[in-house]
Structure 1
Amino acid sequence: MSTDPDVLVSVEGVYKHFPIKQGIVFKKEIARVHAVDGVDLQVRRGETLGIVGESGCGKSTLARCITGLHPVTRGRITYEGRDITKFSARDLKAFRRDVQMIFQDPYGSLNPRRRVGSIIGDPFAVHGIADGADRKKRVQELMELVGLNPEHYNRFPAEFSGGQRQRIGVARALALKPKVIVCDEPVSALDVSIQAQVINLLEDLQDELGLTYVFIAHDLSVVRHVSDRIAVMYLGRTAELAEAETLYGAPRHPYTAALLSAESIPDPDEAERAERIVLIGDVPSPIDPPSGCRFHPRCPKAKEQCVEEEPELIAREGDPADHLTACHFPVEPGESLAREQASIEQVSTEPVLPEVST
């Protein structure tokens, strides 16, 4: 457990598994999806921690664990030194005043049958903070804060564009004056021009209100722009964690290097000179993850040690103390992996589930 007063949220050895069951009357658990499988993270007060990785790596599940929407299978998550995994329903309700979430889909996260004023005002109603004219005044102030017209208080979500809907989600998250906001891919469903507007809004709100963000995204350029530190996840585990500029300038995990090589480069001449690392094979199934390092079936630097032994997430030789890498054979400065292929023989990534008689 961290004793650093600057650490607002601490994730310690967190696992989240989803059971797979078969049977009609007597359902029997036959396997588990290892969505999050032993993650350690710390979120410091006032910073933006970016989390990146392929679809299915566990980013959104981890976000829901941090906000208390998913109970953890094992491990602990502490907020200001208190273990939220042991909170009662009453404690959890109070905790959610401090930790809020902005969801990915600005269409699915808003009830189309309710007016915007009631959607943004829900937190006030749930926590019994304001009602009547006072609630309407606070909601309209929030709408103005996020760049919406307060006069549109009685409109339905369908009357707003995608970017405006996401601003409604931001206003709802800000209602209770939280300290931490978990942004689960808040701009991935928006046009590029609208993405920039929402990102700038979030940055302005952070400066004005002193917010702490956990920012999840697929777009590496967006994560680099907004994040102080970045955690790279692969198949439920943290592959690398470092300051944003350090990670982008000198990635140490082969998976991080491959992700960064896929980033779009605006300059066509520079893009033509850049070397793309093409990973072989598919992402293994989270139902039956590989032994040792989970990236070894696709890694161009993998050796037998990677198959047998799980690497620790630690600072490797020559790296700063806050640059952590889970790799036995990290990428060396100047090393190119673009022409390398996976050295471990590929195996099927499809899990074989036992048959259960009904």
Structure 2
Amino acid sequence: MSGGQDDLLVSVEGVYKHFPIRQGIVFKREIARVHAVDGVDLQVRRGETLGIVGESGCGKSTLARCITGLHPVTRGRILFEGADITGLSKAGLKAFRRDVQMIFQDPYGSLNPRRRVGSIIGDPFAIHGLADGADRKRRVQELMELVGLNPEHYNRFPAEFSGGQRQRIGVARALALRPKLIVCDEPVSALDVSIQAQVINLLNDLQGELGLTYVFIAHDLSVVRHVSDRVAVMYLGRVVESADGEDLYRAPRHPYAAALLSAASVADPDEAERAERIVLIGDVPSPVDPPKGCRFHPRCPKARERCVSEDPELVPREGDPPSHPTACHFPVEPGERLSGRQAVIAQVSTEPDLPEADR
């Protein structure tokens, strides 16, 4: 999707989010930091769906919480409709959250089991003083009907609903204030496959009907491919490749993206047999002590000495359009096969650098 600055809804500029590791009982001192998000640049345009994929621990959910204001950023800034939201006051943050909402991964843990569904969905109206009494009940029941729930179940508790229905309750709550952006943090990973399809189709229908913009985080690459206009691939706190969805799935340029996509399930057994499967050796390095240079080099089948000493920029590589940047010195060429090749350059240590007494 292309467009000018007027189409730009969210701009993430050089965002870092580090979590300190402290030691001590009375006087706590910082001994290390978890580099959860480490210099991310992203743009989200109005009406599109940006998919974010990567292994567990790569920083996807932390980045999502930074965008929604749930985590303060360590460094960098996030612009929403051109305004910097990283230093908002409490009142400013409350107003900002009318435009940005989140659908959480766990449809069980994200709903208070002691409160009735009508009260849960109606919370945004109560917090922002937009409706009360009969008007609030009417609006809540309209939202329930919009997401495929029976409005007559207004007074039921979450335990009386299935997992898919509970996630629809979460969707209804996120839609209450008609936000401009919804961050979906793995919204279908805890659901059965058949229910996943229903929730994804619901989100697609709501996007077309209400003009929503999504940031969609998921582990299931086939789901991301189905829903996303653009896809960003994260590894160890950084975006290593970003492109239009079909371009990325057809010809990934970063070796990590190629390995990740090769693990995606394929419905056609003949196509699955022909597909290349790239098996990465080794574990993801510790985010407390990330590798120098390219962070993927200890596991990369194409790594060379330059990858150890020089951190690659996230820029378009030769032959790629401006919309397809890749952080790799030696990107995957069309038709190149990586299966059977193993990393030849290992990192010296993936353990955090802690004081001697803590080893």
TM-score bracket, normalised by the shorter chain, equals: over 0.9
Given that residues 32 and 353 in structure 2 are in contact (C-alpha distance below 8 angstroms), is that contact kept between their aligned partners in structure 1? no
Given that residues 36 and 58 in structure 1 are in contact (C-alpha distance below 8 angstroms), is that contact kept between their aligned partners in structure 2? yes
- Counterpart position of 1:350: 351
Distance in 2 between residues matched to 1:131 and 1:113, nearest whole Å: 21
Given that residues 282 and 349 in structure 1 are in contact (C-alpha distance below 8 angstroms), is that contact kept between their aligned partners in structure 2? no
* Residue 266 (structure 1) shift: 1.1
The number of residue pairs the alignment matches comes to 356
* Residue 356 (structure 1) shift: 6.5
1:60-84 Cα distance to aligned partner (Å, 9 max, x none): 0000000000000000000000000
- Counterpart position of 2:119: 118
* 1:269 paired to 2:294: no
* 1:18 paired to 2:12: no
- Counterpart position of 1:30: 31
Identity of aligned residues (%): 85
- Counterpart position of 1:186: 187
Q: Which runs of 5+ in 2 are unaligned?
A: none
Normalising by structure 2, report the TM-score: 0.98
Secondary structure of the residue aligned to 1:72 is coil
Secondary structure of the residue aligned to 1:54 is coil
Amino acid at match of 2:14: G
Normalising by structure 1, report the TM-score: 0.98
Given that residues 22 and 356 in structure 1 are in contact (C-alpha distance below 8 angstroms), is that contact kept between their aligned partners in structure 2? no
Distance in 2 between residues matched to 1:294 and 1:247, nearest whole Å: 20
- Counterpart position of 2:244: 243
- Counterpart position of 1:232: 233
Given that residues 297 and 347 in structure 1 are in contact (C-alpha distance below 8 angstroms), is that contact kept between their aligned partners in structure 2? no
Distance in 2 between residues matched to 1:286 and 1:74, nearest whole Å: 17
* Inter-CA distance 32–271: structure 2 relative to 1 (3 Å threshold): same
Given that residues 183 and 214 in structure 1 are in contact (C-alpha distance below 8 angstroms), is that contact kept between their aligned partners in structure 2? yes
* Inter-CA distance 90–235: structure 2 relative to 1 (3 Å threshold): same
1:208-257 Cα distance to aligned partner (Å, 9 max, x none): 00000000000000000000000000000001000000000010000000
Distance in 2 between residues matched to 1:355 and 1:175, nearest whole Å: 53
Given that residues 301 and 342 in structure 2 are in contact (C-alpha distance below 8 angstroms), is that contact kept between their aligned partners in structure 1? yes
* Residue 10 (structure 1) shift: 0.2
Secondary structure of the residue aligned to 2:174 is helix
Secondary structure of the residue aligned to 1:86 is coil
Secondary structure of the residue aligned to 1:350 is coil
Secondary structure of the residue aligned to 2:86 is helix
Aligned CA RMSD, in angstroms, stands at 1.2
- Counterpart position of 1:103: 104
- Counterpart position of 1:148: 149
* 1:59 paired to 2:67: no
* Residue 355 (structure 1) shift: 5.0
Greater mean deviation of Cα atoms: 343-352 or 262-271? 343-352
Any runs of at least 4 consecutive aligned residues in structure 1 with deviations exceeding 4 A, and if so which?
Answer: none
- Counterpart position of 2:165: 164
Amino acid at match of 1:353: L
* Residue 352 (structure 1) shift: 3.4
1:290-346 Cα distance to aligned partner (Å, 9 max, x none): 001100000000011111011000000000110010000000000000011102035
Distance in 1 between residues matched to 2:201 and 2:95, nearest whole Å: 29
* Residue 267 (structure 1) shift: 1.4
Q: Which runs of 5+ in 1 are unaligned?
A: none
